[in-house]
Structure 1
Amino acid sequence: MALTPRLSGQVAARAHHSRAAALLQKAAPFFAIGEVSGGPLLLASIAALLIVNSPLGHDFERLWDTPLRFSYGALAIARPLAEWVNDALMPLFFLIIGTEVKREFSKGSLATIRTAILPVAGAIGGLVVPIGVYLAFNYGTPTQHGWGVVAAMDTAFSLAIVAMFTTRLPAAVRAILLAFAAIDDIFGLLVIAVAYTAALDWLYLLGAGIAYVAIIALLRLGWVSSIAYVLLGGAVWVGVVGSGIHPTIAGVAIGLLLPTTSRLSERRFAERVQRPVDRLREAQEAAERTDDEAVAEREREQAQSQLGYIHEMAAATDEAAERLVRILTPWVSYLVLPLFALSNVRIHLSGELIGDALHSPLALGIVAGLVIGKPVGFFAAAWIATAVGAARLPDGVTWRMIVGVGGVAGIGFTISLFIAELAFAGSEGTEMAALAILAASLVSGMLGYAVLWSAAAPHAAKE
């Protein structure tokens, strides 16, 4: 999502004496290891397009449609490989999103009510206006029910574009986009749950709710061991999958629960480990001085005991949310998102398909909804919220930056493809929708980049 200040400085320094480094400097945010990055997703999407339109395309698609079966005795679960990616792996991405947005709202740039209302209002406008634009093209047609395709944005790509200006824009710009993206994706997931879920299994949903409440109870009790949370999180996922709701919503819901404060402050840590550190040193010195092997072994055990105490105290200074994001991020960036693209991008490019798209209400509605509806809805709702005094822009953020955020919000990929598959499953509309989503994402990405570049120039000149 963004380079760390130190890494950003390293990349900038290399650019002074290396042409290759100068070129890579712009691309670095798309491949940042420490943050969810859009580069691997972009490369995987391009690879999928090339393979699907090659002689290997049929076998490639058949690979992802092959059922992967797990069985134990009479119990058996078999789903296409692509569904396992969507249902079992993608919730990890949304777990990170839920965690990140909670951090921003609890202690980040959106910690005050008025700054928090800004992305909430923008997300509402960014939902209502695109749907209205889509229905303007498709109302009363067989594709009317595809309105949910324009409901959500792609978080990884949009944040990667903003990250290209990480040293030239206020940090609050990324916070606004992150919060908007998370709320926007939640709206998209709710659209899936409400509009594209054929039937709900309330028993499974009840089980997911019980597991979710159990996680809250353990957090209130200060339970430390992670295994209980992993098992309960798995139970929430199973309950949501069994209920018929898309399991990505389970990832966001669990992410919103993770603590964003450490159990032990750094000052308290220093106070509590001072004596154990002294005992550790004394035990080590005693073990080195004595010639009695039994005494030396006893002192070494004492040293190990003190190390264990210090280790646990050090772990208590780490935020649960930050630790989980740190562990999951490389896997999500370089495995989960690329697998999603490889298994879901199935556009058979042809002159006929492109020609049909130019006259298709479905394609025109998606492109107009994402490219025009998203930025207009986000900007208009955010402006109204500030005009009536309910919200305010964070320090250093300008309205041009808000326009840029709205521009990149038109990049639709993950949730949009999810919903297109649900809305048009088994019909030609799926491929048409995917092509429109791809075209809208390219246009929105370029427009958003251009606006953010123009907004970053005067901001950088002041520094």
Structure 2
Amino acid sequence: MALTPRLSGRVAARAHHSPAAKLLQKIEPFFAIGQVSGGPLLIATVIALVIVNSPWGADYIRLWDRPVRVSYGAWAIARPAAEWINDALMPLFFLIIGTEVKREFVKGSLASLRTAVFPVAGAIGGLVVPVGIYLAFNYGTSTQHGWGVVAAMDTAFSLAIVAMFTTRLPAAVRAVLLAFAAIDDVFGLLVIAVAYTAEIHLWFLLAAGVAYACILALLRVHWVAPIPYVLLGVIVWIGVFGSGIHPTIAGVAVGLLLPTSSRLSEGRFAERVQRPVDEFKAAHAAAEDAPDPTAAEEAREEAQVRLGYIHEMAAATDEAAERLVRVLTPWVSYVVLPLFALSNVRIHFSADLIGEAVHSPLALGVVAGLALGKPLGFLGATWAATRLGHAELPEGVTWRMVLGIGGVAGIGFTISLFIAELAFADPVQTEQAGLAILVASLISGLFGYAIFWRAAAPAERS
């Protein structure tokens, strides 16, 4: 996601020390440690494409399709390694997305009702128009049921492109894109649940709902210890997973619950720790000047008690949502998303595949739906909502920037590949869809970058 102001300053300062720093400044957002970044995902995608199209491609795919078995007594479940990555690790990515979106709606650039309606309207347009375009190519054919492929966007890549202009675009651009991406991805997950889930097991879903309600209850009584939340979150995941609905939706749902305000303000912190700090200093001095080891040990224990109190008060000034994002983002950026790409990108480039895709309604529908439908749908729906008085542009955001947001929304990598695997039983159709997703993502990324570059150019010249 966008570089923090301090990190942006550090990157800019490096330009004085290295002739390559200008280039590094451009690509830094793709590899920033402090936020979900698209660089490792991009590298993993390239590596997967190279290996899949090498003589070792078949062995590589079999590696990810090899079952990983989890058992306890007579109970056992075996699933391919790639599916475990999709089902067990990808929810962590969507947990971060849900958390970030809640923060923007509660206290960020989308905190007012009319600015909050803006990305919601865009997400509706960004779903309806691409699906309509896809069906215009495929209605009445055997690939009609693949319409869900164009329903969602790739959050990591799109946010990384916006982050390249972090110092020259208003913060609200990232907030709008983040909210749009989360809502858009939730739509995509609901598409999976409704259109591509053969059977829903209600008892598992009920268990997830009970665990979710328990998390709400603990938040209501201001329970502080994290272990119950972790255990209940795991139960929510198990319930959604067992129900047959894709478990990534559990990540978004839990992320939306995390508190976006601290338990203790900085002013109250200063009031509450002043006396314990003085008592700590006194106990520490007493330990240094103690006449015997027993008295020194008692004074040190008293000092540790005061340190523990101060530590807990300091922790109370931290937002739970911000703390979780800070802990998870390096793992998601450098482990979860690259593993997803390595295990799911399986496009075999060949003259036959490319030739068939050029004339395939499936591939044409995917490319047109993502690269054309997303920007048209987002721009058209937000413009209509604004003209009708239901929404308003966030401060500093222009319609050119809105077009750029719609442009990068056409990068449909993660969820689109998810849905393609579910929608098409024929491997040829799956490969055509994957190739089309790759082409549409490349077109959309370049188009979005160009639009943002033009939108940021006046600020750069001033």
* TM-score class, shorter: over 0.9
Describe how 1:20-419 pairs up with structure 2 within 5 A.
20-419=20-419
1:447 and 2:451 aligned: no
Q: Which amino acid aligns with 1:199?
A: E
Q: How many residues align?
A: 462
- Helix, strand or coil for the counterpart of 1:428? helix
CA distance in 2, matches of 1:121, 1:461: 33
TM-score (norm 2): 0.99
Shift of 1:406: 0.5
Alpha-carbon contact 1:169-1:460 (below 8 Å) kept:
no
Give the aligned residue type for 2:45.
Answer: S
Distance (whole Å) between structure 1 residues aligned to residue 214 and residue 425 of structure 2:
36
Q: Deviations over 1:413-457 (max 9, x none)?
A: 000000000001353211110000000000000000000100011
Query: Amino acid of the residue matched to residue 58 of structure 2?
Result: H
Give the Cα separation in 2 of the matches to 1:25 and 1:292: 59
Amino acid at match of 2:243: S
Contact 1:159 1:174 survives alignment (8 Å): yes
Whole-Å separation in 2 of the counterparts to 1:17 and 1:225: 46
Q: Which amino acid aligns with 1:248?
A: T
Gaps of 5+ in 1: none
SS at match of 2:71: strand
Distance 1:55 1:21 in 2: 38
Q: What are the Cα deviations for residues 16-47 of structure 1, in whole angstroms up to 9, with x where unaligned?
A: 44222111111100000000000000000000
Secondary structure at the counterpart of residue 44 of structure 2: helix
* Aligned partner letter, 2:2: A
What is the one-letter code of the residue matched to 1:318?
D
Normalised to the residue count of structure 1, the TM-score between the two structures is 0.99
The answer for the alignment partner of 1:10 in structure 2 is 10
For the Cα contact (< 8 Å) 1:16–1:22, is it kept in 2? no
Letter in 2 for 1:162: V
> What's the secondary structure of 2:20's corresponding residue?
helix
Amino acid at match of 1:403: L
Identity of paired residues, percent?
Answer: 76
Q: Is this contact kept in 2: 1:104–1:110, CA < 8 A?
A: yes
Q: CA deviation at 1:15?
A: 2.0
Cα deviation, 1:66-106, whole Å, max 9, x if unaligned, reads 01112121111211100000000000000000000000000
* Letter aligned with residue 242 of structure 1: G
Once the two structures are TM-superposed, the CA of residue 172 in structure 1 deviates from its matched residue by 0.2
What secondary structure does 1:401 align onto?
helix
Q: Are positions 1:432 and 2:432 aligned together?
A: yes
- AA in 2 matched with 1:121: A
Q: CA deviation at 1:59?
A: 1.0
Kindly provide the amino acid, as one letter, of the partner of residue 340 in structure 1: F
> What secondary structure is seen at the aligned counterpart in 1 of 2:427?
coil
Deviation at 1:13, TM superposition (A): 2.1
- SS of 1:224's equivalent? coil
Structure 2 distance, partners of 1:356, 1:427, is 13
* Structure 1 residue 460: Cα displacement: 3.1
